[in-house]
Structure 1
Amino acid sequence: MTTSETMRAVRIAHHGGPEVLEPVDVAVPSPEAGEVLVRVNAVALNNTDLWTREGAYGRPGDPRARSGWRGPIDFPRIQGADIAGRIAAVGPGVDERLIGRRVVVDPAIYDSEGPDANPVGLMGSERDGGYAEYVTAPADRAHDVTESALTDDQLASLPTAYGTALGMIERGRLRERETVLVSGASGGVGLALVQIARARGARVIAISTGSKSESVRAAGADEVVDRARDIAEQVRATAPEGIDVVLDVVAGDLVAAGLPLLREGGRWVVAGALGGYDVHFDVRRLYLHNAQLIGSAMHTRTHFRLLVDLAVRGAIHPVIAAAYPLEEAALAQEQLARRGHVGKIVLHP
């Protein structure tokens, strides 16, 4: 493959609404030293796509500033963090025997080479992503899943949603037989949290809308509480002994209402702010009960390897809500923003 070849891609040239998603013909990227070129079979959507497009992440000291995941975006940018496909070519220094292998790509850009390094960038934000026919990635981020029985759509659903979920569960030290409360349980990360927590042997109480409760229960929730009613009251009735770990992608008012639900030494893990980022709570409920409030952004290399192992063993089965052709990325993001679905939305380049 030569760099003179072109491919279809969808990119953004500035922040804005779905209308800024522009299908274009661009050059096929050439893998640099230590990189691989992946032919994209499926790319899954995430809230990260919406917020990066909108510039909704803010910056330290200026929460309303338009910004990408970790800072200003270098436009134009091809979106898409969650990629499944096959290796089409390799760059200098990479084993050519990898060509043809089926892979899922770890989209994180880490701050160091260690196994527990922190993610400080993301494909589709700090470098081009998978809303395209081809994408380059560091060779060590392209994980071989050739033996997995999961479909390309399911594999593409894993990196951000399931990676974020597994990072939350690991950082929250969730153990077998503990009781866990999952917020936003019908969303991509929420459904992943339900599935992984159940696989770990925890008792799972999920917060969702009534119309989606059966889908959330089918994913592995033991109990589902209706977010339209008093959540704290429902949780107390369902788990009078208290909650060991809260896995929260909503934040907002839920934090103040929910902290008293924690058992002594409980852990509250936050990885999103769908309900609002400006949070107020009674700090006494934190320190008097030796509770921990833990921030969790995505995953580490160690977490991602655990996730790949789950995928190869077939221990998790992502739910696919809808699939669109790449050219309809704007329609797909509009459906994602409406939040009327259960599971993941994917694009097919």
Structure 2
Amino acid sequence: MKPQDPKRFDLTEGLVTMKAVVTTGHGGYEQLVYRDVPVPVPGPCEVLLQVLASSVNNTDINTRLGWYSATVTTATQDAATARDANAASPTPDGGWGQPTPFPFIQGTDCCGRVVAVAPGGDARLIGQRVLVRPSIRPSGFDALDNLWMGSDFDGAFAQFVKVPASEVFAVNSDWSDAELATIPCAYGTAENMLHRANLRAGEQVVVAGASGGVGSAVVQLAKRRGAIVTAIAGKSKMGHVKSLGADRVVARDDDLVACLGENTVDLVVDNVAGPAFGDMLKLLKPGGRYVSSGAIAGPLVTLDLRTLYLKNLTLLGCTAWDEPVFANLVAYIERGELRPLVAQSFALAQIAQAQRAFLDKTHVGKFVLIPPAPGQA
């Protein structure tokens, strides 16, 4: 590859192709193809990153499965099982409101190093270790349309990725590449929900799915804000979740209303949904808030509108991130206010193994993917 601009590391000099995982369509693990693809060339206002580490998220799996289709009504895990049983089943509307751009490279999380900038770009970025903000607001932060790296355009399941220069944030931290790669999607989603819900010190918050990537991030970030945190987790994970700072941990199978009482909670953060949704609203005080950015236990829920309006509740859906969110996260890392949670690292070529382990839900934290060094297989 011969770029138009010499502002680059020798690292990519002469490289024409790179290793990447290409998702070729909706379906099972057979759609994840590890192969050679062209090294991307940064265009105007873009930079090229060497991917140092990425990680696995529900978003990556949901996009591959076509779970965002209105025709899918089951939990992510059930949809994955169905795909394995019938890999060829079509999902015509499986994108985020638009067709998914197959074939493409997924990977929403990226810890990387800037190795090239486009002509006219800021050469001072070269060599910096950065995190990429994956939620991009193309019309600015006054509009809610957004694009996601690894869902709407090529992401970080590769040796290199090109991204808008505006979306890279240098990080001054002694964390490892793998630890930094746990942050963007999970912690950005968590911080955005708490920011949008205006969680304040002293408020009572319930966190569903607290052992997962987003849930464990919510526990830490809510405690950082001075909230009183009740976390919900499987029995085998309760001790670990408690160690993250939760004030109380309730077993997932317990009767939440009996344990916590009706009208006792200021905010519910719920990326689980499914059958427990109605009880979550019962927990909320009059004027309480419910915030969600996912529905891993099932997207269709039963809502008694009387509960909503008689209790003057606010329901918040969160996908597009507000402007302060990612810069705040980087500051929290640099001040040592967050704890990274790496469950296990895998080579990029082992992505199917990592996603299977992710769906087993026996872990706490994030599964990290490490691409090979440039020029290696």
Could you tell me how far 1:274 is from its partner in structure 2? 1.4
Could you tell me how far 1:241 is from its partner in structure 2? 6.4
Quick one: distance in 1 between partners of 2:178 and 2:145? 24
Could you tell me how far 1:203 is from its partner in structure 2? 0.5
Query: CA-to-partner distance for each residue in 1:239-279, whole Å, 9 max, x for gaps?
Result: x7600000010112222112121112110111111121111
1:8 match:
19
Give the partner amino acid of 2:260: V
2:160 match:
134
Tell me whether 1:338 sits opposite 2:360 in the alignment.
yes
Quick one: distance in 2 between partners of 1:201 and 1:335? 33
Contact 1:56 1:65 in 2 (8 A): no
Contact 1:40 1:85 in 2 (8 A): yes
Q: Which one of 204, 217, 226 corresponds to residue 251 of structure 2?
A: 226
Q: Which one of 275, 281, 286 corresponds to residue 297 of structure 2?
A: 275
1:196 match:
221
Contact 1:70 1:120 in 2 (8 A): no
2:7 match:
none
2:101 match:
74
Could you tell me how far 1:229 is from its partner in structure 2? 2.0
The answer to which of 334-343 and 254-263 deviates more is 254-263
Q: Which one of 201, 208, 224 corresponds to residue 176 of structure 1?
A: 201
Q: Which one of 185, 188, 210 corresponds to residue 160 of structure 1?
A: 185
2:235 match:
210
Could you tell me how far 1:200 is from its partner in structure 2? 0.8
Could you tell me how far 1:68 is from its partner in structure 2? 2.6
Partner secondary structure for residue 146 of structure 2 = strand
- For these two proteins, the number of residue pairs brought into alignment is 343
Which runs of no fewer than 5 residues in structure 2 stay unpaired? 4-14, 74-90, 372-377
1:299 match:
321
Could you tell me how far 1:69 is from its partner in structure 2? 3.4
TM-score by length of 2: 0.87
Q: Which one of 336, 342, 363 corresponds to residue 320 of structure 1?
A: 342
2:333 match:
311
TM-score by length of 1: 0.94
Quick one: distance in 1 between partners of 2:143 and 2:273? 25
Which runs of no fewer than 5 residues in structure 1 stay unpaired? none
Query: CA-to-partner distance for each residue in 1:47-86, whole Å, 9 max, x for gaps?
Result: 0010111111015x99775413342111111110100011
Partner secondary structure for residue 82 of structure 1 = coil
Quick one: distance in 2 between partners of 1:268 and 1:205? 14
Quick one: distance in 2 between partners of 1:287 and 1:120? 30
Quick one: distance in 2 between partners of 1:205 and 1:196? 13
Distance 1:241 1:58, change over 3 A: closer
Query: CA-to-partner distance for each residue in 1:180-231, whole Å, 9 max, x for gaps?
Result: 0000100000000000001111000001101000111111111111111212
